[in-house]
A and B are shown apart, each in its own frame.
Chain A
Amino acid sequence: MFEPEKIDALLRDQINVSHLDIVDLTGTRDHYSVLIVSADFDGSLPLAQHRKVNAALADQLASGEIHALQLKTLTPTEWEKSK
């Protein structure tokens, strides 16, 4: 179990976040869906983008505090287009 507020703080601490949605998928605070938009993602493939997010939450993913993380990463340009 890991509070969404703490996920928010960890991600903003390590990634230049311009938009962030965190959804608790099961109500048990260990299965999350995260949509994150950052200029840090510009010019890199989704694999590198996802690795960056996973790295920011590495301790919690390894300990099982976060059991599952469904992730979508977007650059600011992609985010504008998707609106």
Chain B
Amino acid sequence: MGKIEVNTMTEKKKISLNIVQPQENEEPKSRVEGGDVMSEIAAEVANNKIVLYMKGTPSEPRCGFSARASQILGSFSVPFHHVDILVDPEKRQAIKEFSNWPTIPQVYVGGEFLGGSDILTQMYENGQLDTVIKAL
């Protein structure tokens, strides 16, 4: 907990504000490293340029929307990291809270939540996805 002093020009008096260190400053880590599932997701999206949370795998998708998202990402030359949430019930719930998004698949690019399958399709069609991936 640090303190910062601010000179306000108009009132010409000193005020002090408490600076609270945000929790996000902690290094995200996986569950095997002692983190929680939210921390593990934070690590995944930070350590991989593109992450797809999906049902099944790119070679064996278990849902049409996940299959489409995987196909779209696969059409780019940048490799993507996939996470099969069907084998991880804890993460299946956690990712919805993490992104504040109710459905799966979910796509992260450059550490930012991009959206689900409709958004990915829309951004693929209008060229925005190409722009975002090229900017990596």
B21 at the interface (CB under 8 A from A): no
Q: Given the known inter-chain contacts A70-B118, A72-B118, A73-B122, please indicate yes or no for A47 contacting B113, CB distance below 8 A.
A: yes
A20 at the interface (CB under 8 A from B): no
Chain A nearest Cβ from B97, distance in angstroms: 14
Contact residues on B (Cβ < 8 Å of other chain), bracket: 10 to 19
A45 to B122 alpha-carbon distance, docked (Å): 10
Are B102 and A50 in touch, CB under 8 angstroms?
A: no
Are A46 and B119 in touch, CB under 8 angstroms?
A: yes
35-83 of chain A: CB within 8 A of chain B:
45-47, 50, 61, 70-73, 78
What chain A residues lie within 8 Å of B102 (beta carbons)?
A: 61
In the complex, per-residue mask of B20-47: 1 if CB is within 8 Å of any chain A CB, else 0: 0000000000000000000000000000
A37 to B122 alpha-carbon distance, docked (Å): 13
Are A71 and B118 in touch, CB under 8 angstroms?
A: yes
B114 at the interface (CB under 8 A from A): yes
A78 to B118 alpha-carbon distance, docked (Å): 16
Are A46 and B128 in touch, CB under 8 angstroms?
A: yes
What chain A residues lie within 8 Å of B114 (beta carbons)?
A: 45, 47
Q: Given the known inter-chain contacts A47-B113, A61-B102, please indicate yes or no for A78 contacting B119, CB distance below 8 A.
A: no
B126 at the interface (CB under 8 A from A): yes
Closest B residue to A33 using CB positions? B118
In the complex, per-residue mask of B106-136: 1 if CB is within 8 Å of any chain A CB, else 0: 0000000111101100110010100000000
5 CB-based A-B contacts, threshold 8 Å: A45-B128, A46-B123, A47-B113, A47-B119, A50-B119
A-B pairs, 8 with minimum CB distance? A46-B119, A47-B115, A46-B122, A71-B118, A46-B123, A50-B119, A47-B119, A46-B115
